[in-house]
Amino acid sequence: MAKNKVSTDQLISEIINGIEKVKGLKINLLDLREIENTVCDYFIICEGGSNTQVNAISGSIQKTVSKSLKENPWHIEGESNAEWVLLDYINVVVHIFQKQVREFYDIESLWGDAKITSIEVSY
């Protein structure tokens, strides 16, 4: 039996839900579809205030997406030190940073040609 295809919009929505459940900060959605030779269609970038919160955000995203869409990341990096965790869902790659690491790597500037949408949170 063929697996139901999850839309990218559904995946993005559930990832953001997972971030919001544990109060992730400064959520940005980068649309990379108009840029040549990109590894995916979207980046979702957010930050947590500590190693504990970065891991909590990662866990919340994985649990939320798995429960609602039956999808798991293809690849995960960075959970051991929790300064920068990457969750690769093929079309959507999630970057969860601690503030100082996010400022150092400044992914949003590296992908300056991307359309960036800031996700407003109400907490």
Q: Is residue 59 part of a domain?
A: yes
pTM reported for the whole predicted model: 0.93
Domain that holds residue 108: 9-113
Burial class (CB within 10 angstroms; exposed 0-12, middle 13-18, buried 19+) of 52: exposed
What's the number of CA atoms in the CB half-sphere (13 Å) around residue 103?
5
In a domain, 121, yes or no: no
Q: Does the pLDDT value for residue 3 go beyond 70?
A: no
> What's the CATH code of the domain at 106?
3.30.460.10
How many structural domains compose the chain?
1
Give the pLDDT of residue 4: 54
Q: Give the span between the Cα atoms of 35 and 57, in whole angstroms.
A: 28
pLDDT in tens, 53-90: 999 999 999 999 999 999 999 999 999 999 999 999 99
* Within-domain flag for 118: no
Count Cβ atoms within 10 A of the Cβ of residue 97 and give its class: 0-12 exposed, 13-18 middle, 19 or more buried: buried
SS3 of 11, please?
Answer: helix
Q: Is 2 part of any domain?
A: no
Q: What is the pLDDT of residues 14-31, one digit of tens each?
A: 999 999 999 999 999 999
Kindly indicate the confidence band of residue 1, based on its pLDDT and cuts at 50, 70 and 90. very low
Identify each DSSP E strand in the chain by its residue range. Answer: 25-31, 42-48, 75-77, 84-88, 92-98, 115-119
**Is residue 123 assigned to a domain?**
no
